[in-house]
Amino acid sequence: MKTIQHWINGSPADGTDTAPVFNPATGAEQARVVLGSAADVDAAVTAAARAFETWSESSLTQRTQVMFAFRQLLVEHEEELGRIISAEHGKTVDDARGEITRGREVVEFACGLGDVLKGSFSDQVSRGIDVHNFRQPLGVVAGITPFNFPAMVPLWMHPMAIATGNTFILKPSERDPSAANFVADLYKQAGLPDGVFNVVHGGKDAVDAILTHPGIEAVSFVGSTPIAKYVHETATSHGKRVQALGGAKNHAVVLPDADLEFAANHITAGAYGSAGERCMAVSVAVAVGDAADRLAGILERKAREVKVGPGDTPGTEMGPLVTKAAQERVENAVGTAATQGATVVVDGRGLKVDGHEEGFFTGPSLLDHVTTDMDAYKEELFGPVLAIVRADSLDQAIDLINANPYGNGTALFTASGEAARRFQRNIHVGMIGINVPVPVPMSYYSFGGWKDSLIGDNPIHGPEGIRFYTRPKVVTTRWPQQAQQVSAGFNFPTSN
């Protein structure tokens, strides 16, 4: 059986303990992944620190040339990487290719850092004195990433860090670890020096070693809110910068004036795509006024039409969940919703796919008449479950969303510009879609929610990513003529 190793200083590195990696479509163990220890993290930090000495002094042209080559390799190997992701995560190959494309957009942004990293210059701020500023890399930085996007979320981190002159250690999810090693090999083919990009696999031991290691300057994290809080608290207490993105409960509001067929079609894709295992998945449809009954009927029809099967089978729209435990948790949540008074309009529990009876499949579930005190509303289910909550007005819908502890993404379906403007100004959510169900911003904007969806104040990629992985210097200069004598003052310096 294949063993997935660490990648340290440009080559595979072995470990001692291992954990199973499953094929979610069959339920069978298909590989073992090594579990990193504090010693493995220290070895990666040592390699990265040594590489930083030269990589941080490389020219911007050299760094962007590597990014251009890396970007091209991602294009050429998209199908292969997509199938690796599908085999370990369970999502469809098409969906996996989609996440690679969205991650590649950050690489393309990193290719253009020459313009973004330009500093500023002020001439003659005082007699004979000029001021300019520039940004420098931090050093060794790390990323801790979730299972649901094994390519895209790491690509939101390491291209930004590496292109700005840092060296990087990635700790991917142990559930689908192979994509990280595949990307590491692409970097090597692109000409990235050994030690600049490293991969340490593992669980909590590896995470804690990263959060506390004195040689790591910054940590980026995407995952659940409780773990994001733990990461932020632990890493900041050890003097590190932290990006910590947490969970979500994303609402899509549908007004009576919306095209309900259009809205339901996109909400269905947003809810059940990738089996709902997205931090930007639509998990709540807020049906306003007399749109409710009509919308519920269309959503029911579309949920029943979703084609569930193995991710590598043509025509499949939704694959299995990532683990048996995830399958059981989602199906238990549907049962709990029914006991708490929700109407189970479409029940995805107990689905069996021919030839894959042991796979971790569950079908789309649609719940109606869900209230805000039910567990199906309060908890992040992270599965193919869509809850319909009914509201009397747009203002009531806004108040409902603002009262939710999460604030990652939200959407409004309407034909009214006034309603859209009122919604986007009054909603307490970081990323908003108007007739767009999953409003993930482009790479030249930053990604980050509000409230419990972002711990601290550091969003990811885009301009915020540049600021996170660099620190500024301001230089004040004077070049007096040799014959000129300039008297020094003992008072606080001013521009006079």
111 catalytic per annotation: no
Place of tokens 């969806």: 453
Q: Mutual orientation of helices 93-111 and 60-76 as an angle, nearest 10°?
A: 160
For residues 91 and 85, is the Cβ–Cβ distance under 8 A?
Answer: yes
Of the listed 258, 279, 296, 326, which one is catalytic? Answer: 279
In this structure, is the dihedral angle defined by the CA atoms of residues 252, 257, 260 and 261, taken in order, positive or negative? negative
25: helix, coil or strand?
A: coil
* Rounded distance between C-alpha atoms, residue 168 and residue 464, angstroms: 18
**What's the rounded Cα separation, in Å, for the pair 496 and 486?**
14
What is the strand order of the sheet 470-478 is part of?
121-126, 129-137, 470-478
In angstroms, the CA 310 to CA 47 distance is: 40
Asked if 413 contacts 263 with a C-beta cutoff of 8 angstroms, the reply is yes
DSSP assignment of 337-369 equals: HHHTT-EEEE--TT---TT-TTS-----EEEES
Residues 117/135, Cβ–Cβ less than 8 Å = yes
What residues act catalytically? 279
